[in-house]
Amino acid sequence: MTQPFDDSQRLLDSVKQAVAQKRQLSILGHGTKAHYARSTHGDALQSRDHVGVIEYQPDELTISVRAGTPLTVIAETLDQHNQMLACDPPRFFGGGTIGGAVASGLSGPGRPWYGNLRDAVLGVEMINGLGERLTFGGSVMKNVAGFDISRMMVGSLGVFGVILSVNLRVHPKPEIERTISLDLNWDDAWSVLCETIAKPTAVTATCYWSGSLYLRLAGNRASVEEACSSFPSNTEIENDVWVHLRDHEHSFFQSSEELRRTWLGRGLQPQIENDESNLIEWAGAQVWSFKVHGDSAALGQRISSEPFNRSSAAPSTESKYMRRLRRAFDPHQLFNSDLLL
């Protein structure tokens, strides 16, 4: 277990020094998301020593943690009270901090059912580009008045400042969780997915790849048993398939080609040409593919895929609203200045 340590003063002093010396900074945690987004401009500002649970209230379903706290430590803490961070952010290479998770904004396989990381954030404490320590939001659910700046930090890639701590909403774990697989062609699998999103079910995650549809069923024992019985000819498999999918350890992701993804609106069926060339999750809303296979996953909707690597997918210019926000929080362009949103 990582020992708690408040490293906020060093981080604050480092930012103030960078402001005085007009130096740029590159914010770095565990570095597990370097393949997704990483700044190469400026001196590294390491935040992974700023760790620990500040406050945990199981009865209130809230937890406050320092930004460098590993995701594994948070999961272990919540597990003691049979609770979880439902958005389940990826732990690439077995690591990752909560600050990095918030900055990247990535969520796990259960996002359409449990909500995304932005839904879980109640408040943040940060250091802006002027060396000021700021607090937004709160530690309970009914706390928002005016602009919800705390949630704006989700997916911001660190361009607004250094996250010091995060207040999060957590969820009780389901009584039981089971995973089943169905051998189906894509059209039949799509029909099953449409039924699962049209009415309340125990399904909390879906994945289709290589002729198989995987469904995660969670809830109380009765509801899960009822859901299982509604899918004839199913095969029960281990639940760790969702961990492999979340962390991109699934065999689909083991390719040297450029990883791409496509998002589709609810009810739009991805048109795929090869079951093995695409992996479909979020009940059809997110499609993974590789550049070598082109954009076949979404040609039916004329929606092109984009690289998972943000340095390749970043816009050539930012909107005027984003430029105003960056000037307000970081007028000297100290933080991750080469990353565009």
CA atoms within 13 A on the CB side of 99: 30
What is the mean pLDDT of the segment spanning 138-165? Answer: 83
pLDDT band, residue 299 (cuts 50/70/90) = very low
- Averaged over 8-28, what is the pLDDT? 97
Domain 8-172+316-329 belongs to what architecture?
2-Layer Sandwich (3.30)
Please state, in angstroms and rounded to a whole number, the distance separating the CA atoms of residues 217 and 290.
29
pLDDT band for position 262 (cuts 50, 70, 90): very high
pLDDT category of residue 80 using cuts at 50, 70 and 90:
very high
Residues 189 and 203: beta-carbon distance below 8 Å: no
pLDDT per residue as tens digits for the range 187-210: 999 999 999 888 889 999 999 999
d(CA 287, CA 291): 13
Neighbours of 192 (CB within 10 A): 18
pLDDT at 58 over 90: yes
Q: Where are the domains of the chain?
A: 8-172+316-329, 176-254+259-308
Angle at alpha carbon of residue 172, lines to 168 and 175, rounded to 5°: 160
The per-residue pLDDT for 79 is 98
pLDDT at residue 296, rounded to an integer: 46
Tokens of 225: 């048993």
The percentage of the chain sitting over the pLDDT mark of 90, rounded to a whole number, equals 80
- Element spanning 10, H or E: helix 8-21
When mean pLDDT is compared across 70-74, 139-143, 218-222, 330-334, the lowest value belongs to: 139-143
Task: Give the model's pLDDT for residue 294.
Answer: 47
pLDDT of residue 265: 83
Mean pLDDT of the chain: 92
> Would you state the pLDDT for residue 272?
84
